[in-house]
Structure 1
Amino acid sequence: MSEIRYNFLKDTYTIISVERSKRPHDFTISIYEEETTDISKCPFEYGNEDKTPPEIFSIRPDGSPPNTPGWLVRVFPNKYPALRIENQPIYEGYHMFDKIGGFGAHEVIVETPDHFKHTQDFEEKDFINMFIAFRERIKSLYQDLRIKYVHVFKNHGKEAGKSLVHSHSQLIALPIIPKQQLTMIKQTKKYYQQKGRCYLCDEIKTEINLAERVVYENEDFVSYCPYASLYPFEVKIAPKFHSHDFTTITDEKLKTLADVLKFTVRKLHKTLINPPFNMILHTAPPYREDYIDKTIYEHLDKHFHWHIDILPRITTLAGFELGTDYYINPTMPEEAARFLREVV
């Protein structure tokens, strides 16, 4: 029997359609990409640093100079940015319509110099370096008070929006807080006002106690298929300790975060045969005196809880989802978690 489950954090509904129930082998999308192209032309390769804009952050154990080989992680502005730091966030009206100048930042984070190393091949040290780049670039961008939110994401596979084979993530800094982040802030604030507790702290404790949707956990982090998963085999990774701001994470905690992400990604890879997915970091925005609604910052450190969503793109959003903002998920989250737990 189908169920309509409420996703509190995102304030939307998911139809868990048992009649359409699918097992891992029913999802036929696979992204084993052709690696026959001439990698010497890839702008992310060693020796091709001049084919990208100048780097703004890198991890270089050998102390090599910027824009040369020797890096483990390299960050630079997107060559074709959605937003530019040189623009001004000027609010304007055009007849009855509103617009903001195209201010912001759009950066590329190349997590490995190895063209053939993909997310499922990463070791813990690779994920640690990736997270260090995320943390340091967010902290740096937030020094610009015009930036209200930095959105960090990774597209894995062409169907998930990846345009180049070489593994990389992206971040986009915005002069506004996106609607989804605002919704999560308002929802967790409502829960905190009603119960005096963090919503995600309670959700994590519940999932660990029930154990039916947990995929993997260690002493600091847990990955699980959310109760009202919007996508089949959707996974959430969250710290067991309360923390609202990803930029405060210590290097020690990055090790256990990398451990959970490594095992979770590999389980998805083996269960669904290398599925395309989007990985999204959700963290609290910094306080801004000029933000139009300053109430969103009230008790933000107490009720918001940063987390990572991994959203496999193995079904297509169609007229129902696009027309209602509700979702149809053909796989029970409990079944998805069981498949992921059992794969070795």
Structure 2
Amino acid sequence: MAELRYNPLLKDWTMVAASRQNRPHMPKDFCPFCPGSGKVPENYDVHLYHNDFPVLSPNPPQPDAVGGSLYQTKEAYGKCEVVLYSPGHYDTIPDLSREHMKKLMDLWEETFVKLEQDPNHEYVMIFENRGEEVGVTMPHPHGQVYAYPFIPLKVKTELNACKEYTEENKRNMFDDMIAEEKRFGERVVLETEHFIAFIPFFTDYPYGVYVVSKDKKTAITEFSEDEKLELGDLLQELVGGMDMIYDKLFPYMMVMHQRPSDGKDDYNDFYRFHIEFYPPLRASDKIKYNSSSETGGWAAANPTKVEDNAENLRKCIERYHEKRGK
């Protein structure tokens, strides 16, 4: 069973895919993403792999006859792709060469372009789940790209807030956010010519870093080759620094927030390409679980001080530089 069910309370869709319960944990002696498995090319640097257990598909089944009245269902149309970062079973983002990281950036862009060409795909999301703490069952380094037949609620909320802010203030919210973070300074962890990384004033995750484009660009397709190299370098430094926080692989959820794929050309006026990290650890051996008020009321709560975390992450990034010989 795979279908979309409408939530009238939130004006949003829930994806239902019972088959995903059958997703396997990777056997200790076999990895389908490693060369020699018969599932991937014998030689690759980065590779696009079609998800074996997609929640969205280009040929979805008809929804079950369980809806009625205000309860709507529709086909779970879309696409779910897996992006393999490397043939190396343990090569995560900081382990890649600069040239290899550029190939990953290019594959992300190519996949985004391909998926948004389908008029039924309203939003294309590039993301990564890293670590068992966030439910990863296949540890070979990979990310995913989903093409949705709707705009996810969090992104829609951001878009509406940014548009309202621009209409009221005649300025882009992200420009003002960057200006304030740079003025205060203590939450900024990395900055390059075209990008800035900081742990926002308002984040609900202890190390919930945002990476924001300084320029009026809203999708990965708008970056030059040099800008993609620059963004790849920044991500490697950032994740490499995160791994130094507790001296172990740092778990996180990472999501690129980009414009919708509806063909409108005004998003650059009020929105901005940015990447959000949601790392679940609040200590080396403690996970930040959502409380009832956080889940039931979306009343975010951060158990740590952002400014202290930013200072620690800056120091860890410096340690990563020294380790990598920069």
TM-score category of the 2 structures, normalised to the smaller one? 0.7 to 0.9
2:149 and 2:242 mapped to 1: Cα distance?
34
Aligned partner of 1:192: which letter?
T
1:74 and 1:317 mapped to 2: Cα distance?
34
2:56 and 2:212 mapped to 1: Cα distance?
29
* Equivalent residues in 2 for 1:85-96, closer than 5 Å: 85-87=58-60, 94-96=67-69
In 2, are the aligned partners of 1:75 and 1:110 still within 8 Å (CA)? yes
Structure 1 residue 309 and structure 2 residue 298: aligned? no
Same amino acid, percent of matched pairs: 26
Structure 1 residue 42 and structure 2 residue 31: aligned? yes
* Equivalent residues in 2 for 1:258-297, closer than 5 Å: 258-273=232-247, 274-287=249-262, 297=264
* Equivalent residues in 2 for 1:149-168, closer than 5 Å: 149-168=123-142
Q: 1:265–1:186: structure 2 CA closer, same or farther, 3 Å change rule?
A: same
* Equivalent residues in 2 for 1:1-344, closer than 5 Å: 37-38=28-29, 41-48=30-37, 50-51=38-39, 68-87=41-60, 94-96=67-69, 97-273=71-247, 274-287=249-262, 297=264, 299-314=266-281, 315-343=288-316, 344=319
Q: Deviations over 1:66-112 (max 9, x none)?
A: x532211100210111111113899x993221111011101100010
Count of equivalent residues: 284
In 2, are the aligned partners of 1:230 and 1:329 still within 8 Å (CA)? yes
Structure 1 regions of 5+ residues with no counterpart? 1-34, 52-66, 289-296
1:93 and 1:299 mapped to 2: Cα distance?
39
- Look up the SS of the partner of 1:305 in the other structure: coil
Superposition deviation, residue 209 in structure 1: 2.4
1:126 and 1:313 mapped to 2: Cα distance?
28
Superposition deviation, residue 299 in structure 1: 3.0
Aligned partner of 2:84: which letter?
V
Q: Which protein, 1 or 2, shows the higher relative CO under an 8 Å CA cutoff with sep ≥ 6?
A: 1
Superposition deviation, residue 175 in structure 1: 0.6
Superposition deviation, residue 137 in structure 1: 0.5
TM-score by length of 1: 0.78
TM-score by length of 2: 0.82
Aligned partner of 2:251: which letter?
P
1:202 and 1:122 mapped to 2: Cα distance?
34
- Look up the SS of the partner of 1:264 in the other structure: helix
1:123 and 1:236 mapped to 2: Cα distance?
23
Superposition deviation, residue 255 in structure 1: 0.9
Superposition deviation, residue 219 in structure 1: 1.3
1:189 and 1:342 mapped to 2: Cα distance?
36
Superposition deviation, residue 184 in structure 1: 0.5
1:223 and 1:89 mapped to 2: Cα distance?
43
2:228 and 2:304 mapped to 1: Cα distance?
31
Superposition deviation, residue 276 in structure 1: 1.1
Q: 1:301–1:88: structure 2 CA closer, same or farther, 3 Å change rule?
A: farther
1:190 and 1:69 mapped to 2: Cα distance?
51
2:241 and 2:206 mapped to 1: Cα distance?
14
In 1, are the aligned partners of 2:124 and 2:261 still within 8 Å (CA)? no
Aligned partner of 1:284: which letter?
R
> What's the C-alpha RMSD, in Å, of the aligned pairs?
2.2
1:284 and 1:36 mapped to 2: Cα distance?
38
Q: 1:119–1:87: structure 2 CA closer, same or farther, 3 Å change rule?
A: same
1:89 and 1:202 mapped to 2: Cα distance?
46
In 2, are the aligned partners of 1:201 and 1:242 still within 8 Å (CA)? no
1:74 and 1:342 mapped to 2: Cα distance?
34
Q: 1:75–1:94: structure 2 CA closer, same or farther, 3 Å change rule?
A: same
- Look up the SS of the partner of 2:72 in the other structure: strand
Superposition deviation, residue 286 in structure 1: 2.0
Q: Deviations over 1:147-204 (max 9, x none)?
A: 1011111001011121111000011111111101100000000111011111112111
Structure 2 regions of 5+ residues with no counterpart? 1-25, 282-287, 320-326
Q: Deviations over 1:282-309 (max 9, x none)?
A: 0001225xxxxxxxx5832210101001
